[in-house]
């Protein structure tokens, strides 16, 4: 790809960008949120049309007018934003639009399910191809999306943040698959914000910044710090700007909380100014705990206390009234109203604070939103831009900004840095410290061990719906947490 | 250019339609005829305004035509027995709102799909009308009431004045108020809205109440204009109302669109009806032409999106 430019109303997403992948190579594409990575790949996948530039495939200039055409050219793409049909079974999602046929054009269901089964097994996924996709977790859906891309005999596989929702083990499995593809001459484009992955899997890396091409480098000639500097244009001093905050009185206490089929007998206390990390593998029920406290899923037994007083929370609005906020892990489905503006999304939970006789005080609202955009350094063309048009990481920032508006006393953060870039991550952590200093109790539920270790004052580990370990910051190690996460009980 | 077309595509279609009709018929572009069109449009437009609220929440209200008939019968029944105007009209609006409330509760508390719930209500309200009127029109309405359908204020027909007020108010509600925000948010992503602490069931129900009350308001106009309540009034009106909303650019998928487009949509349908009448097109062909134009307009609109 050469001289590629693309603009959307109000944004120049790409300006004169070049990019090249060779067969048998894993080529990483990195850059901050909104740098234009997904846009560049969507052009290659036939989703967007470029304004200028040329695309060559196997030395020949090509036009890619549609996704179907891209697939015919041997280009397969795993989109950052899952685009699947929740109501259909897994197998039908995998083969959507290219179902195996029998004579007469009828879908050959048997072959389809058999092939889906093999595919999922090859990937080591214990997923029944008959299950409806909507019943899977985000991580499982992501794995299905990967299976789908790999089921096409493609010469070029584009992976746009495939591991954002995956655990270490699942990521390892994906890497094994990628290593298998490489000798077959398949070219792979790999987009990620987990930069350490690049050093594990990639051969070369191309860096974009603000829609412009910065450079392409062999992985051997780069260090992590060097790569970050190329991405953000400056040196990042510390990855985890953790500062000790004296913990105050308990602000949230959970006693014996149980939600059948999800988690059992979960008890913990969060103090004012404390960051409590909850680690655990996918399926450990750690996200469900947050949703239950927030009143979004039913609780069968147990007690919740806020500021020492028992409270009943049957709905999110009651949780909010008690000063609890929840940043969900699935921004598209649970976090945002994609068709609405950035402004409307950010103020959605606090409109009652911003109204006079039912009318929204627009000026005050605009001021708050402008402040939030500045605080979190969001890449938005205008506050009136629909959330749908934002880059994935910027969308995540909008979700976070929304809950910062509520001035909650307890913030439940589920995978708060999923899909956001290195620079923004540090901003996010700084924000957490800031909130803690203001006396907010923070529960950070995350699959990213480094951030759990780097930011938490105390760490709980969950396994199969139960708490299996508790570690103070000082003695927590990666090994100990992983051991608890796989079921070994540990109390320090 | 594309952007402008996208925003104003339906407006262009409307203007084009006006120009074509002005060429085809001398009597089309006269003040009298235009006011006449506005008067005819007002009934469907007011129903469509309520329908816009409902569709924005990713719902649908098929009961509007029957609600119109039933509240019309209630109003006429009370007025013909000599009750004061406010009592008759107030009762009519109340009944419309209550039916909307029932629709909303069946949908939000009972978990029934809007299409089914309001389809049931369509039949129930029509049946109730027939029972109440015994299948006969109710006549003998006071002059003051008839004025609401046939009167004028400074040459502007009263129904047109009412329609203007309804649309101005709806516009303000949808664009400036918390209620409006919630309506869009619910239609855009109900679960995310719920997780933002919004009482989704309440606001969804409210949309159906608004739709029911506005159907009753159009019953006031229709009953006054006909100087009687007809048990079969409003049959098929739900389709014209939905067509107006969709023509106006509000998607049936909810969360996107607006009230201004609905007004335009209602006028396109009204102008088309009027033009085809002026051109002496038989009413059989009229239906075909109307359907084709609606489909073309919506197709054009989707193409530009
Ligand atoms: N359909 C669209 N309409 C308008 N603007 C868009 C659209 N798609 C992307 N953009 C804008 O283009 C820019 C680049 O977005 P892109 O999604 O390519 O970023 P990215 O590098 O993939 O970021 P992230 O790491 O957050 O996923 C952003 O400013 C984004 O808001
Ligand atoms: Mg992206």
Domains defined along chain B, listed by start: 12-19+30-304 (1.10.3470.10)
Q: How far apart are CA B201 and CA A315, in angstroms?
A: 12
Subunit contact A402:B188, Cβ cutoff 8 A? no
Q: Give the chain B residue whose CA is nearest to the CA of A334.
A: B192
Chain A interface includes B189 (CB < 8 A): yes
Q: How far apart are CA A240 and CA A243, in angstroms?
A: 9
User: Does ligand 1 come within 6 angstroms of the Cβ of A192?
Assistant: no
Residue A478: is its pLDDT beyond 90?
Answer: no
Q: Which of B230, B240, B241 lies closest to B71 in space, CA to CA? A: B230
Q: Is A228 exposed, middle or buried (0-12, 13-18, 19+ CB in 10 A)?
A: buried
Subunit contact A349:B197, Cβ cutoff 8 A? yes
- Ligand sitting nearest the alpha carbon of A389: 1
User: B8-18 pLDDT, tens per residue?
Assistant: 677 888 888 88
pLDDT, average across residues A311-321: 92
Residue A245: is its pLDDT beyond 50?
Answer: yes
Chain B residues within an 8 Å CB radius of A385: none
Radius of gyration of chain A (CA): 23
Chain A interface includes B191 (CB < 8 A): yes
- Ligand sitting nearest the alpha carbon of A386: 1
pLDDT of residue B1: 46
More confident residue, B117 or A241: B117
User: A452-466 pLDDT, tens per residue?
Assistant: 999 999 999 998 889
- A358: how many CB neighbours lie within 10 A of its CB? 12
User: A264-277 pLDDT, tens per residue?
Assistant: 999 999 999 999 99
Q: Looking at ligand 1, which residue's alpha carbon is closest to its atom 28?
A: A34
Q: How far apart are CA A124 and CA A143, in angstroms?
A: 10
Domains A2-232 and A250-491 in one fold: yes
Q: Give the chain A residue whose CA is nearest to the CA of B255.
A: A339
Q: How far is the CA of A23 from the centre of ligand 1 (A)?
A: 27
- Ligand sitting nearest the alpha carbon of A378: 1
Taking the alpha carbons at both ends of chain A, their separation in whole angstroms is 55
Calculate how close chain A gets to B224, using CA atoms only, in Å: 33
- Ligand sitting nearest the alpha carbon of A231: 1
pLDDT of residue A81: 67
Q: How far is the CA of A33 from the centre of ligand 2 (A)?
A: 7
Token reading at A54 = 């040329």
Give, in order, the Cα–Cα distances in Å from A97 to each of A66, A93, A491, B131, B232.
14, 9, 52, 53, 47
Subunit contact A334:B181, Cβ cutoff 8 A? no
Q: How far is the CA of A34 from the centre of ligand 2 (A)?
A: 7
Question: From the alpha carbon of A395, which atom of ligand 1 is closest?
Answer: 26
pLDDT of residue B299: 78
Calculate how close chain A gets to B23, using CA atoms only, in Å: 38
Subunit contact A358:B185, Cβ cutoff 8 A? no
Q: Give the chain A residue whose CA is nearest to the CA of B177.
A: A359
Q: What is the rounded average pLDDT for all residues in chain A?
A: 87
Who among B177, B194, B195 is closest to A360 (CB)? B177
* Reduced 3-state DSSP string for A115-160: HHHHHHHHCCCCCCCCCEHHHCCHHHHHHHHHHHHHHCCCCEEEEE
Radius of gyration of chain B (CA): 19
Q: Give the chain A residue whose CA is nearest to the CA of B191.
A: A334
User: A350-365 pLDDT, tens per residue?
Assistant: 999 999 999 999 999 9
The share of chain A scoring above pLDDT 70, in percent, equals: 98
The model's confidence at residue A149, banded by pLDDT at 50, 70 and 90, is confident
More confident residue, A479 or A410: A410
The model's confidence at residue A491, banded by pLDDT at 50, 70 and 90, is low
The model's confidence at residue A476, banded by pLDDT at 50, 70 and 90, is confident
pLDDT of residue A489: 63
Subunit contact A348:B199, Cβ cutoff 8 A? no
Task: Pick one of 1.10.3720.10, 3.40.50.970, 3.40.50.300, 3.30.930.10 as the CATH number of A2-232.
Answer: 3.40.50.300
Chain A residues within an 8 Å CB radius of B194: 296, 315-316
pLDDT of residue A180: 82
* Domain residue extents for chain A: 2-232, 250-491
What are all long-range contacts of B231-236, with beta carbons under 8 Å and residues at least 24 apart?
A: B231/B69, B231/B73, B231/B129, B231/B130, B231/B133, B231/B135, B231/B136, B231/B137, B232/B69, B233/B65, B233/B68, B233/B69, B233/B72, B234/B64, B234/B65, B234/B66, B234/B67, B234/B68, B234/B69, B234/B72, B235/B65, B235/B69, B235/B126, B236/B65
Calculate how close chain A gets to B68, using CA atoms only, in Å: 29
CB distance B110 to B117 below 8 Å: yes
Q: Which of A322, A223, A289, A334 lies closest to A461 in space, CA to CA? A: A289
User: Does ligand 1 come within 6 angstroms of the Cβ of A39?
Assistant: yes
The model's confidence at residue A309, banded by pLDDT at 50, 70 and 90, is very high
Classify domain A250-491 by CATH architecture: 3-Layer(aba) Sandwich (3.40)
pLDDT of residue B38: 95
pLDDT of residue A417: 87
- Cα dihedral sign, A152-A158-A163-A168: positive
pLDDT, average across residues A473-489: 82
Residue A119: is its pLDDT beyond 50?
Answer: yes
Calculate how close chain B gets to A337, using CA atoms only, in Å: 5
Residue A123: is its pLDDT beyond 50?
Answer: yes
User: A368-381 pLDDT, tens per residue?
Assistant: 999 999 988 888 98
Chain A interface includes B2 (CB < 8 A): no
pLDDT of residue A141: 80
pLDDT of residue B295: 83
Could you please report the per-residue DSSP string of B231-280?
TTTTTTHHHHHHHHHHHTT--TTSS---HHHHHHHHHHHHHHHHHHHHTT
User: Does ligand 1 come within 6 angstroms of the Cβ of A417?
Assistant: no
What does the buried/exposed string (b/e) look like for A69-90 if buried means 16 or more CB atoms within 10 Å of the residue's CB? ebbebbbbbbbbebebeeeebb
Calculate how close chain B gets to A203, using CA atoms only, in Å: 40
Q: Looking at ligand 1, which residue's alpha carbon is closest to its atom 18?
A: A36
Residue A490: is its pLDDT beyond 70?
Answer: no
Strand residue runs (E) in A407-451: 410-414, 441-445
Q: How far is the CA of A32 from the centre of ligand 2 (A)?
A: 9
Question: From the alpha carbon of A9, which atom of ligand 1 is closest?
Answer: 4
Q: How far apart are CA A218 and CA A227, in angstroms?
A: 11
Q: What ipTM was reported for this prediction?
A: 0.89
pLDDT of residue B4: 54
Residue-by-residue pLDDT tens, chain B, 305 positions: 455 555 667 788 888 888 988 998 888 889 999 999 999 999 999 999 999 999 999 999 999 999 999 999 999 999 999 999 999 999 999 999 999 999 999 999 999 999 999 999 999 999 999 999 999 999 999 999 999 999 999 999 999 999 999 999 999 999 999 999 999 999 999 999 999 999 999 999 999 999 999 999 999 999 999 999 999 999 999 999 999 999 888 988 889 999 999 999 999 999 988 888 888 888 888 889 888 887 887 777 666 65
Give, in order, the Cα–Cα distances in Å from A469 to each of A266, A268, A281, B159.
12, 11, 13, 71
- Give residue A490's region: left, alpha or beta (phi > 0; psi -120 to 50): beta
């Amino acid at each position: 790809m050469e001289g590629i430019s693309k603009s959307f109303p109000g944004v120049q997403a790409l300006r004169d960008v070049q990019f090249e992948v060779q067969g048998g190579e894993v080529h990483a594409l990195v850059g901050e949120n909104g740098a234009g990575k997904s846009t560049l790949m969507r052009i290659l996948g036939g989703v967007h049309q470029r304004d200028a530039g040329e695309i060559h495939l196997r030395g020949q200039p090509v036009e890619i007018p549609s996704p179907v055409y891209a697939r015919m050219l041997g280009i397969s793409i795993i989109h950052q934003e899952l685009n699947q049909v929740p109501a259909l079974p897994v197998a039908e999602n995998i083969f959507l639009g290219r179902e195996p046929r029998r004579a007469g054009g009828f879908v050959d269901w048997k072959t389809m399910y058999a092939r889906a089964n093999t595919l999922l097994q090859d990937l080591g996924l214990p997923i029944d191809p008959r299950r409806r996709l909507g019943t899977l977790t985000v991580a499982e859906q992501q794995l299905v999306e990967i299976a789908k891309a790999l089921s096409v005999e493609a010469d070029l596989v584009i992976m746009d943040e495939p591991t954002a929702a995956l655990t270490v083990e699942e990521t390892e499995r994906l890497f094994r698959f990628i290593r298998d593809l490489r000798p077959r001459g398949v070219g792979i484009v790999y987009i990620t914000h987990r930069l350490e992955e690049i050093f594990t899997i990639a051969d070369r890396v191309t860096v974009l910044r603000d829609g412009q091409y910065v450079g392409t480098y062999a992985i051997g000639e780069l260090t992590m710090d060097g790569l970050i500097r190329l991405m953000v244009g400056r040196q990042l001093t510390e990855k985890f700007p953790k500062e000790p905050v004296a913990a105050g009185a308990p602000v949230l206490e959970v006693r014996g909380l149980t939600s059948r089929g999800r988690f059992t007998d979960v008890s913990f206390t969060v103090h004012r100014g404390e960051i409590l990390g909850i680690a655990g593998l996918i399926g450990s029920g750690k996200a469900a705990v947050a949703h239950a406290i927030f009143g979004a899923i039913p609780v069968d037994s147990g007690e919740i206390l806020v500021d020492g007083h028992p409270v009943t929370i049957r709905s999110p609005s009651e949780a909010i009234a008690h000063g609890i906020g929840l940043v969900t892990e699935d921004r598209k489905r649970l976090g945002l109203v994609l068709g609405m503006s950035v402004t409307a999304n950010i103020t959605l939970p606090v409109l009652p604070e911003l109204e006079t006789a039912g009318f929204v005080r627009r000026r005050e609202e605009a001021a708050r939103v402008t402040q939030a955009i500045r605080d979190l350094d969001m890449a938005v063309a205008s506050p009136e831009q629909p959330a749908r048009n934002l880059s994935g990481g910027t969308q995540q920032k909008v979700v976070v900004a929304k809950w910062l508006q509520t001035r909650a006393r307890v913030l439940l953060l589920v995978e708060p840095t999923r899909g956001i870039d290195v620079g923004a991550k540090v901003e996010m952590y700084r924000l957490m410290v800031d909130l803690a200093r203001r006396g907010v109790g923070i529960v950070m539920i995350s699959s990213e061990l480094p951030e759990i270790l780097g930011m938490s004052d105390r760490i709980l580990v969950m396994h199969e719906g139960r708490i299996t370990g508790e570690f103070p910051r000082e003695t927590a190690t990666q090994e100990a947490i992983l051991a608890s996460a796989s079921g070994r009980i540990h109390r320090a | 250019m594309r952007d402008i077309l996208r925003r104003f595509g339906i407006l262009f279609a409307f203007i084009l339609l006006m120009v074509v009709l002005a060429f085809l018929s001398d009597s089309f572009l006269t003040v009298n005829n235009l006011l006449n069109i506005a008067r005819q449009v007002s009934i469907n437009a007011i129903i469509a305004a309520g329908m816009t609220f409902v569709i924005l929440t990713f719902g649908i209200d098929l009961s509007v035509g029957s609600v119109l008939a039933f509240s019309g019968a209630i109003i006429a029944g009370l007025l013909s027995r000599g009750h004061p105007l406010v009592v008759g009209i107030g009762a009519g609006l109340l009944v419309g709102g209550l039916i909307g409330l029932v629709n909303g509760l069946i949908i939000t508390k009972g978990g029934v799909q809007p299409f089914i719930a309001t389809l049931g209500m369509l039949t129930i309200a029509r049946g109730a009308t027939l029972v109440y009127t015994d299948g006969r029109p109710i006549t003998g309405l006071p002059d003051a009431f008839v004025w609401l359908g046939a009167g004028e204020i400074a040459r502007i027909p009263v129904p047109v004045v009412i329609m203007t007020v309804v649309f101005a108010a709806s516009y303000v509600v949808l664009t400036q108020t918390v209620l409006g925000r919630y309506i869009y948010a619910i239609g855009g992503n109900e679960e995310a809205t719920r997780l933002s602490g919004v009482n989704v069931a309440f606001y969804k129900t409210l949309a159906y109440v608004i739709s029911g009350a506005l159907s009753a308001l159009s019953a006031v106009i229709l009953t006054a204009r006909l100087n009687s309540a007809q048990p079969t009034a409003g049959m098929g009106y739900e389709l014209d109302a939905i067509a107006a909303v969709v023509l106006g650019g509000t998607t049936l998928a909810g969360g996107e669109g607006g009230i201004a487009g609905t007004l335009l949509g209602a006028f396109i349908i009204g102008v088309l009806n009027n033009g085809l009448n002026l051109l002496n097109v038989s009413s059989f062909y009229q239906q075909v032409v109307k359907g084709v134009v609606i489909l073309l307009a919506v197709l054009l609109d989707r193409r530009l999106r």
